[in-house]
A and B are shown apart, each in its own frame.
Chain A
């Protein structure tokens, strides 16, 4: 394979006219399918769209799209049904959609009093629950079959930007917040388990390592990514600098223990390997606006999707991930 074009190869793009992408996620069931949560007017006002896209050799096409009357900020696929997804929106509600049913959401869960910026479906097989993190400084636990939240987690002193389930520890999730802390919660207790004062600035994103159950990474407004070991939270395991503006989202690779990707307001997506002395592997700059959404495919090794406020969703394989290790 000729690989001299340096950077993304066979990059495919899809334009969502008038909609600015906030989050993308690959389907855990169908290799070519991904969902993108987008909002009108950069998410400040107006409505939102959930676009379910189908990607193949020829390009990306729109499989189904759903509209909502407020901006959609995050999307997560169901782990027990290949057609179901959940989105969170600016009016404080969560919507559960079925791609086979184009009429509207199956159910709307309205309990948060402010924008819900993050929603995640549990990654462990034992239970099927959803956690949402909101600007009202609470996180809520939901069972999609039950119309009300199961539990509300209070403790953050600032708006919650991201709530992510641990892929190893059942019932455990992490939340990143504007109060500059990363907090770890256990669904069995409403109080926080661990508080990590991670950065001197708002923490916008966090993710768990898929190969080490104690390792998390946070991305913050101070443009750095820090790794945290839950067994010793006093200092970070690694500190990755390189972004020139706030880090908006960070994701660990599903294939490599030490590889992660981050997207930032500096329009770039960067790939890092924190076990190397020079951790920055690659910088991909193919957007002309803030990149907000990022996901790494579970099916196609090395495939990455990202979305940005320039109305584009791009799927590509960066050269640092292309060669199988």
Chain B
């Protein structure tokens, strides 16, 4: 009798009294969140594996799209099986509008596999993954490769507007006289190039400046930010030393030797970090180079399948990709608060509470941004006045938070971070014995994303 009730069989008609009594008794069996988030009639979507090439500080080596090739090798997914490829990137390669297609061809995928590129700032690879989830859930595809790439070492630098106008008109000039007239207008200031800046289009404010204002608004001190950055670097170094970052594949830099580790991890000390000057709001700002993520090159990719397809092909998936949400808020004053808005929404959607979550992997754009998000999530006032909620969400406990380092230490190639977060969450769930993880990130433009990852039963 006990075991029957423990299995909480609910297939009884609810009309008879004994069914009601039975169900009331079985409702007392709620062992801690062992329920799965599978929904009736909705396919279970799993991530079979994911890889990334080591994230390298920009300017140290030029990375390429070998993450895709590495993924093929690691998972031995036959090329013909992949139905679709979606890739995310932020700084667009000028010579092609669809880098996913070019990368797929370069990596040796079948030329019969369609591919497209998405962009959503720092959450581009999250968007690539959820696009894949959408294709599979709607039954249009079974196997999707999703990922992201960012090449900061070779960013497109444009001519100034005046120079562009002159050059374009030169194309149309027919006679020598017209051409000479155009060339005569060129002045020295035409040659000043337009460098891409990590600045908001709508407000022209650099993200670091916005982060400094956010830290000030939430009264996050310089010391707290430095401590958090030290934590991130220390944990990343520890994870590297213990061999926990198994999603990293070695990668041969063309013309140089092979890199096997992220080269940005550098735990230092509070005194060293304290000597740095403010990077964005000079001289009294709190965001410095040490407590911000740095410009990085890197790429990552994951293979997503429907659960039936994965099992039919003999794979052991790592995790389910469950509910996800995208949020948008004010790009001026709430640019980096994406996780605060996204986390409660995705928890509600999944019917979970913060206490049910075993692993948190949040993107660390700036230490001040993370600490501001934690404070906002822990504040009743913020929840009531800004989020329209009755009470606070609660902040994720630091013991569960980014335990293997984060973007601050490992690096942040804009478009590739999402896949790293998901794979790290899946591996941490397995290692630490958890069931649910939340992945969240903020993005330029004042957007954000949160997703629930559920460990695949072992």
Cβ–Cβ contact B2 & A289, under 8 A:
yes
Query: At the interface with chain B, which of A23-31, A41-49, A148-156, A226-234?
Result: A41-49
Cβ–Cβ contact B27 & A202, under 8 A:
yes
Other-chain contact of B1, A200, A221, A309 (Cβ < 8 Å): A309
Collect the chain B residues with CB atoms within 8 Å of residue A265's CB.
Answer: 28-29
| Interface size class, chain B | 10 to 19
Interface residues of B in 17-34 (CB under 8 A from A): 17-18, 21-22, 24-25, 27-31
**CB of A115 within 8 A of chain B?**
yes
Q: Which residue of B lies closest to A289 (CB)?
A: B2
Cβ–Cβ contact A44 & B30, under 8 A:
no
| Interface size class, chain A | 20 to 34
A221 and B32 alpha carbons, distance in the complex (Å):
10
Cβ–Cβ contact B21 & A246, under 8 A:
no
Given A44-B21, A90-B21, A159-B24, check contact A222 B30 (CB 8 Å).
yes
B193 to chain A, nearest CB (A): 58
Collect the chain A residues with CB atoms within 8 Å of residue B2's CB.
Answer: 289-290
A204 and B1 alpha carbons, distance in the complex (Å):
20
Given A289-B1, A289-B2, A290-B2, check contact A115 B28 (CB 8 Å).
no
Other-chain contact of B29, A45, A115, A246, A289 (Cβ < 8 Å): A246
Given A43-B21, A44-B21, check contact A204 B30 (CB 8 Å).
no
Collect the chain B residues with CB atoms within 8 Å of residue A42's CB.
Answer: 1, 25
A246 and B355 alpha carbons, distance in the complex (Å):
18
Cβ–Cβ contact A135 & B1, under 8 A:
no
Cβ–Cβ contact B30 & A90, under 8 A:
no
Collect the chain A residues with CB atoms within 8 Å of residue B28's CB.
Answer: 202, 204, 221, 245-246, 265
**CB of A201 within 8 A of chain B?**
yes
Q: Which residue of B lies closest to A39 (CB)?
A: B21
Collect the chain B residues with CB atoms within 8 Å of residue A135's CB.
Answer: 24
Collect the chain A residues with CB atoms within 8 Å of residue B24's CB.
Answer: 135, 159, 178
Q: Chain A 195-215, CB within 8 Å of chain B: the 1/0 string?
A: 000001110100000000000
Collect the chain A residues with CB atoms within 8 Å of residue B206's CB.
Answer: none
Interface residues of B in 342-400 (CB under 8 A from A): 353, 355
Collect the chain A residues with CB atoms within 8 Å of residue B17's CB.
Answer: 45, 90, 115
Q: Chain B 24-62, CB within 8 Å of chain A: the 1/0 string?
A: 110111110000000000000000000000000000000
Number of A-B contacts (CB under 8 A): 42
Interface secondary structure of A, over-half rule: loop
A153 to chain B, nearest CB (A): 21
B212 to chain A, nearest CB (A): 37
Collect the chain A residues with CB atoms within 8 Å of residue B27's CB.
Answer: 178, 202, 221
A44 and B25 alpha carbons, distance in the complex (Å):
9
Interface residues of A in 86-142 (CB under 8 A from B): 90, 115, 135
A159 and B25 alpha carbons, distance in the complex (Å):
12
Collect the chain B residues with CB atoms within 8 Å of residue A159's CB.
Answer: 24
Q: Chain B 235-258, CB within 8 Å of chain A: the 1/0 string?
A: 000000000000000000000000
A159 and B24 alpha carbons, distance in the complex (Å):
9
A290 and B29 alpha carbons, distance in the complex (Å):
12
Q: Which residue of B lies closest to A20 (CB)?
A: B1
A204 and B24 alpha carbons, distance in the complex (Å):
11
Collect the chain B residues with CB atoms within 8 Å of residue A178's CB.
Answer: 24, 27
A61 to chain B, nearest CB (A): 27
A202 and B22 alpha carbons, distance in the complex (Å):
16
Other-chain contact of B22, A44, A200, A201, A204 (Cβ < 8 Å): A44
Cβ–Cβ contact B353 & A45, under 8 A:
no
Collect the chain B residues with CB atoms within 8 Å of residue A115's CB.
Answer: 17, 21
A289 and B24 alpha carbons, distance in the complex (Å):
17
A239 to chain B, nearest CB (A): 14
Given A42-B1, A246-B29, check contact A200 B18 (CB 8 Å).
no
Cβ–Cβ contact B29 & A44, under 8 A:
no
Collect the chain A residues with CB atoms within 8 Å of residue B355's CB.
Answer: 200
A197 to chain B, nearest CB (A): 11
A153 and B269 alpha carbons, distance in the complex (Å):
64
A204 and B27 alpha carbons, distance in the complex (Å):
11
Collect the chain B residues with CB atoms within 8 Å of residue A200's CB.
Answer: 353, 355
Q: Chain A 286-299, CB within 8 Å of chain B: the 1/0 string?
A: 00011000000000
Q: 6 other contacts beyond A221-B30, A290-B2, with CB at 8 A cut-off?
A: A44-B21, A135-B24, A200-B355, A245-B31, A246-B29, A289-B1
A-B contact pairs, 19 of them (CB 8 A): A42-B1, A43-B25, A44-B18, A44-B21, A44-B25, A45-B17, A90-B17, A90-B21, A135-B24, A178-B24, A200-B353, A200-B355, A202-B28, A221-B29, A222-B30, A245-B29, A289-B2, A290-B2, A309-B1
Residues of A at the B interface (CB closer than 8 Å) are: 42-45, 90, 115, 135, 159, 178, 200-202, 204, 221-222, 245-246, 265, 289-290, 309
Residues of B at the A interface (CB closer than 8 Å) are: 1-2, 17-18, 21-22, 24-25, 27-31, 353, 355
